[in-house]
Chain A
Amino acid sequence: MIPQERIRNFSIIAHIDHGKSTLADRLIEFTGGLSKREMQDQVLDTLELERERGITIKAQSVCLHYQALDGQTYELNLIDTPGHVDFTYEVSRSLAACEGALLVVDAVQGVEAQTLANVYLALDQNLEIVPVLNKIDLPSADPDRVAAEIEAVIGLDAHDAVRASAKLGIGIREVLEQLVRRVPAPKGDAGAPLQALVFDAWFDNFLGVTVMVRVMNGTVRVGDEVHFMAAQKTLQVATLGRFTPARKDTEELRCGEVGFLTAAIKVIHDAQVGDTITAVHRPAEQPLPGYHKVKPMVFAGIYPAEGQEFEDLKIALEKLALNDAALSFEPETSAALGFGFRCRFLGLLHLEIVQERLERELGISLITTAPTVVYEVHLRNGEVTYIENPNDLPEPTRIDYIAEPYIKGKVLTPAEFVGNIMKISQDRRGAQVGMSYLDSNRVMIDYEFPLNEIIVDFYDKLKSGTKGYGSFDYEPIGFRRGDLAKLEILVNGEPVDALSLIVPREKAAARGREVVTKLRKHIPRQLFAVALQAAIGSKIIARETISPMRKDVTAKCYGGDITRKRKLLEKQKEGKKRMKQIGTVEVPQEAFMAVVRLGE
């Protein structure tokens, strides 16, 4: 049994591609958690999709035993954090379970915006930060410059930062030694009432809902009656244990320790990240600070491309939601798209991940409506409502004004691209609120944006505007009043609900033109002319016409042509099943997709 003073709880903070997963693998390997043969490459990224994207969505945490140079054995709990801006809250809860963090910075690339955001989160929680300069094996590595950058940007002393190459296994012992020496042991009172912080939860086919906890005070034992304070559920602890990374069950988790817990938790929504578990027989007076309910920021309708796949989609969404407390959805009907679901996401990446998983697991294609944010609608009668779907907007005459969510964003870029960033931000209604040089070449610009402006392809724009060197991070800062209106798209005079958007009035005409132009490009000619219009209220602000097809007949129809012709027509007919019928117009799903991807 390892005493509390020899426990070290830590996270790894790193930008995508800076080597977090590789370093984690090396730490596991070095401490003997897994032999080299057992090592699956990058153990911590469990999901296939995460591996492909090189990011970690679901945190995985491991408990390692390390024999330090001082002769003592330490318990090191590596608490993995999701690696994306959409999951800031989850990251903050994971960090709250730690006393320290390894800051891994690519010795070629230097500090990135996302790293910064997480470092600030860690500093806010008074974590001890241990800088690691990774990838020193690369010929273009410049650890001295990057160390200076860390000092300048973050204000950390980086002169003795570990110089490592996780890939080649250089500097791994030094990392472990610094962890043991510099990160403080967990505080907390073993004799106090139980307070265990839930920092992760998932659905396991064998164990049911499993939560990862950090025991902040007291001890939890198998069989204890425990109370989830935010979820207000009382349950009996069924199993406790650790991942080394192999699962090892235990009878108790003591003050300062990290491990998993199962109880008869039915749905993942009862196992909320940030919740506090306490003991029923001797409850804590207060929950741990920092909990809040997961707040979806982005909304979109998801529809099966073919109507009959609705049930399959429903089952798949339910399955995903088992493991994703942040995902919620409810059935929705669209005149244009049929039966589908309105889904709520933490952010655009979350949306993309859900969409990809659905398509991959179901093998069906989906139509996703243009993502939107939640709008705060102030009515003339003083009421305030929140709408997640542009079609739910009340009659214009009832609306006093509409407010939209804003974010504070931080862009890090090489100086030569500042002009591009300013242009992109201006196009997106961004207001620059600060700018500073991190060194002679790198610039940090602070912006305020309407969230709506960054949920679609902002990140792609930023990346292409900075040749891939720019990075971006944001946090919400509340609602602000805007001059907003509902833009409707009409096909042959019929409004297409799935294409409605809420847009700033000043941009309505441009946006409307963009939408109808895209539609014209993606809707094939029909038997009759098709009018495409963009309207605000009864005012048409853009119009395009698709002229009718003139000739679509094969000239010859001899005996030998009949089969071939019939098959061709059968194939065409089959292809049309993937199209959506709007009035008499057949609209391919690419047309909807194209509208979602505005601005390309």
Chain B
Amino acid sequence: MADISALYVHLPFCHTICPFCAFAVHRDRPGLHRPYLDELAVEIARRAAEVGGDRQRVTSVYFGGGTPSTLGLPEVAGLLETLRAAFGLAPDAEIAFEVNPEDATAPYLRGLLALGVDRISLGVQSLDDATLAALGRNHRRAESLRALAAAREAGVGNLNLDLMLGAPGVPARRLLADLAEVLQATPEHLSLYVLDLEPGTRFARDAAVRQWSETHREEQAEVFLEAAARLEARGYRHYEVSNFCLPGREGRQNRLVWDGADYLGFGVGAHSFVAGVRWHNVRHVRAYGRLLAAGELPVAAREVLTPQQLANERLMLELRRDSGFAPQPWSERFGFGWEGARERVARELEAGGLLRREAGRLVLTPRGLLLADAITERLMVG
């Protein structure tokens, strides 16, 4: 029995495969959707039966990918129906949906809203054709601008835009021009990502891209800090390393995951976390189908987190957020000491301007956020 707060549904289909993406993806082809959606329905039902719990507790649903907008509106409607039937959703649940600019027409977005979707995330990445080409994206500036206009025209009231910094061969400062332009549309939320070379991606295998990334970190850091400052000046909260929002517009799914709430993920490669256990599904569409057909759950790996691992994750996740990390409750909850070595490191970070204290909490400064991994490593248990 567990109270599930959030649901994630993974739609792996994409028109093209981006060279930086490490998610479970599959090139979209006619005839793929139906079997996958049927399998999703089986997984959702099977999980729902297993976890039980309060049917009104789910306050967030997130459709991610891949490219969820490869689905037609009737397919989305069917999926939502399945979820509601299996879990029920709280009346004020946030339903978020990722849309690629080339799919973001006003009628499609209106259709999503009509189905109950109330947060749209547009994978704009950039308004610069050279950047989009360098990132191997399927769309160009024109589609991005059209998508922005369509979102507002369709009445999307909670809009997120993804922007990326660090495209190989493109000056980092280009981001600032993108930012100025998208801010004219006043999106409620912005995710500002610096390109990470994730293992298994085409970019990670490309020596030229690796070289570019290694030699442009400084410049990216400068531009990121500049962008963060501009966003704050415009009233955006820098509430997590890569996320900015207007007041009250934090992504709910992210917040729940970072808070350590129980959530279930469905579809290939999806992760779940329930009662201190984390698991993830197989990444291949065919393996996923086979396991479900065999009456099993499509789980690839599962880990039961130790108190030390839980403590380290808490530290890591809280240091990334503007609400910061509270040593006292952490120490009491997990039983690891804070005074002494950790406190010494904290003081050192404070003196160096990477961290400040707010009502007993440690909050990273913008410069500190850019070093959140290194800082976490210094403070963590191990």
Which chain B residues border A528 with CB–CB below 8 Å? 348, 352
Interface size on A, residues (CB 8 A): 26
Chain A window 549-577, contacts with chain B (Cβ cutoff 8 Å), 1 for yes, 0 for no: 11111111111101101101110111010
CB of A207 closer than 8 Å to a CB of B:
no
Which chain B residues border A568 with CB–CB below 8 Å? 373
Nearest residue (CB) in A for B372 is A553
CB of A436 closer than 8 Å to a CB of B:
no
B interface residues with partner A (beta carbon < 8 Å): 8, 23, 64, 193-196, 217-218, 220-222, 224, 240-242, 254, 257-258, 263, 265, 269-273, 278, 280, 303, 309, 312-313, 316-317, 320, 348-349, 352, 354, 369-378, 380, 382
Task: Pick the 9 closest A-B CB pairs, nearest first.
Answer: A550-B221, A555-B193, A559-B271, A551-B221, A560-B271, A553-B372, A552-B374, A573-B382, A551-B370
CA distance A144 to B272 in the complex (A): 82
Contact A569 B373 (CB under 8 A): yes
Contact B263 A569 (CB under 8 A): no
CA distance A560 to B64 in the complex (A): 12
- The smallest C-beta distance from A397 to any residue of chain B, in angstroms, reads 36
Which chain A residues border B320 with CB–CB below 8 Å? 553, 557
CA distance A549 to B349 in the complex (A): 13
Contact A570 B382 (CB under 8 A): yes
CA distance A528 to B374 in the complex (A): 11
Interface pairs (25), CB distance under 8 Å: A527-B371, A551-B194, A551-B218, A551-B370, A553-B241, A553-B320, A553-B372, A555-B193, A555-B194, A555-B242, A557-B241, A557-B242, A557-B317, A558-B254, A559-B257, A562-B271, A562-B313, A562-B317, A566-B316, A569-B373, A569-B380, A570-B312, A573-B377, A573-B380, A584-B348
User: Contacts A553-B370, A556-B196, A559-B263 given: A527-B221 contact, CB under 8 Å?
Assistant: no
Which chain B residues border A574 with CB–CB below 8 Å? 382
CA distance A568 to B313 in the complex (A): 12
Contact B220 A551 (CB under 8 A): yes
Q: Which of B193, B258, B376 contacts A569 (CB 8 A)?
A: B376
A interface residues with partner B (beta carbon < 8 Å): 527-528, 549-560, 562-563, 565-566, 568-570, 572-574, 576, 584
Contact B374 A559 (CB under 8 A): no
- The smallest C-beta distance from A552 to any residue of chain B, in angstroms, reads 4
Q: Which of A554, A555, A559, A569 contacts B377 (CB 8 A)?
A: A569
- The smallest C-beta distance from B344 to any residue of chain A, in angstroms, reads 9
Contact B196 A554 (CB under 8 A): yes
Q: Which of A527, A555, A569 contacts B354 (CB 8 A)?
A: A527
- The smallest C-beta distance from A353 to any residue of chain B, in angstroms, reads 36
Contact B373 A552 (CB under 8 A): yes
Which chain B residues border A552 with CB–CB below 8 Å? 370-374
User: Contacts A528-B352, A560-B269, A570-B382 given: A549-B374 contact, CB under 8 Å?
Assistant: yes
Contact A550 B218 (CB under 8 A): yes
Contact B378 A527 (CB under 8 A): yes
Contact A576 B377 (CB under 8 A): yes
- The smallest C-beta distance from B255 to any residue of chain A, in angstroms, reads 12
Nearest residue (CB) in A for B352 is A528
- The smallest C-beta distance from A571 to any residue of chain B, in angstroms, reads 10
Contact B312 A569 (CB under 8 A): yes
- The smallest C-beta distance from B18 to any residue of chain A, in angstroms, reads 14
Contact A553 B382 (CB under 8 A): no
Which chain B residues border A549 with CB–CB below 8 Å? 371, 374
Q: Which of A551, A560, A576 contacts B371 (CB 8 A)?
A: A551
Which chain A residues border B273 with CB–CB below 8 Å? 559
CA distance A584 to B196 in the complex (A): 28
- The smallest C-beta distance from A524 to any residue of chain B, in angstroms, reads 10
CA distance A552 to B263 in the complex (A): 28
Contact A554 B354 (CB under 8 A): no
User: Contacts A553-B241, A555-B196, A557-B241 given: A563-B374 contact, CB under 8 Å?
Assistant: no
Which chain B residues border A576 with CB–CB below 8 Å? 377
Residue picked from A549, A550, A565, most chain B C-beta under 10 Å: A550
User: Contacts A528-B352, A569-B373 given: A557-B258 contact, CB under 8 Å?
Assistant: yes
Which chain B residues border A553 with CB–CB below 8 Å? 241, 320, 369-374
Nearest residue (CB) in B for A553 is B372
Which chain A residues border B370 with CB–CB below 8 Å? 550-553
Nearest residue (CB) in A for B273 is A559
Other than the known A557-B258, A558-B271, A569-B380, what 11 A-B pairs have Cβ atoms closer than 8 Å?
A528-B348, A550-B218, A550-B370, A552-B370, A556-B196, A560-B269, A566-B316, A569-B373, A569-B377, A573-B380, A576-B377
- The smallest C-beta distance from B377 to any residue of chain A, in angstroms, reads 5
Contact A527 B373 (CB under 8 A): no
Nearest residue (CB) in A for B348 is A584
CA distance A552 to B220 in the complex (A): 11
Nearest residue (CB) in A for B199 is A564
- The smallest C-beta distance from B227 to any residue of chain A, in angstroms, reads 13
Which chain B residues border A556 with CB–CB below 8 Å? 193, 196, 242
Which chain A residues border B382 with CB–CB below 8 Å? 570, 573-574
CA distance A565 to B372 in the complex (A): 12
CA distance A563 to B265 in the complex (A): 15
Contact A559 B373 (CB under 8 A): no
Contact A559 B8 (CB under 8 A): yes
- The smallest C-beta distance from A386 to any residue of chain B, in angstroms, reads 40
CA distance A529 to B302 in the complex (A): 41
Residue picked from B263, B348, B376, most chain A C-beta under 10 Å: B376
Nearest residue (CB) in B for A558 is B257
CA distance A79 to B263 in the complex (A): 78
- The smallest C-beta distance from A554 to any residue of chain B, in angstroms, reads 5
Which chain B residues border A562 with CB–CB below 8 Å? 257, 271, 278, 313, 316-317
Which chain A residues border B371 with CB–CB below 8 Å? 527, 549-553
CA distance A568 to B377 in the complex (A): 9
Which chain B residues border A566 with CB–CB below 8 Å? 309, 312-313, 316
- The smallest C-beta distance from A381 to any residue of chain B, in angstroms, reads 44
Which chain B residues border A555 with CB–CB below 8 Å? 193-196, 241-242
Residue picked from A553, A556, A568, A584, most chain B C-beta under 10 Å: A553
Which chain A residues border B270 with CB–CB below 8 Å? 560
CA distance A449 to B179 in the complex (A): 67
CA distance A562 to B272 in the complex (A): 11
Which chain A residues border B220 with CB–CB below 8 Å? 551
Q: Which of B224, B317, B349 contacts A551 (CB 8 A)?
A: B224
- The smallest C-beta distance from A545 to any residue of chain B, in angstroms, reads 15
Which chain B residues border A550 with CB–CB below 8 Å? 217-218, 221-222, 370-371
Which chain A residues border B8 with CB–CB below 8 Å? 559
Which chain A residues border B258 with CB–CB below 8 Å? 557
Which chain A residues border B278 with CB–CB below 8 Å? 562-563
CA distance A563 to B23 in the complex (A): 15
Nearest residue (CB) in B for A586 is B378
- The smallest C-beta distance from A581 to any residue of chain B, in angstroms, reads 10
CA distance A374 to B146 in the complex (A): 79
Contact B375 A527 (CB under 8 A): yes
Residue picked from B23, B258, B375, B378, most chain A C-beta under 10 Å: B378
Contact A559 B316 (CB under 8 A): no
Contact A554 B373 (CB under 8 A): yes
Which chain B residues border A559 with CB–CB below 8 Å? 8, 257, 263, 265, 271-273
Contact A527 B377 (CB under 8 A): no
- The smallest C-beta distance from B128 to any residue of chain A, in angstroms, reads 19
Which chain A residues border B257 with CB–CB below 8 Å? 558-559, 562
Which chain A residues border B217 with CB–CB below 8 Å? 550-551
Q: Which of A527, A551, A558, A569 contacts B316 (CB 8 A)?
A: A569
- The smallest C-beta distance from A351 to any residue of chain B, in angstroms, reads 34
Which chain A residues border B280 with CB–CB below 8 Å? 560
CA distance A554 to B198 in the complex (A): 10
- The smallest C-beta distance from B228 to any residue of chain A, in angstroms, reads 12
CA distance A584 to B23 in the complex (A): 38
Q: Which of A527, A554, A558, A563 contacts B349 (CB 8 A)?
A: A527
- The smallest C-beta distance from A585 to any residue of chain B, in angstroms, reads 11
- The smallest C-beta distance from B364 to any residue of chain A, in angstroms, reads 10
CA distance A553 to B374 in the complex (A): 7
Nearest residue (CB) in B for A554 is B196
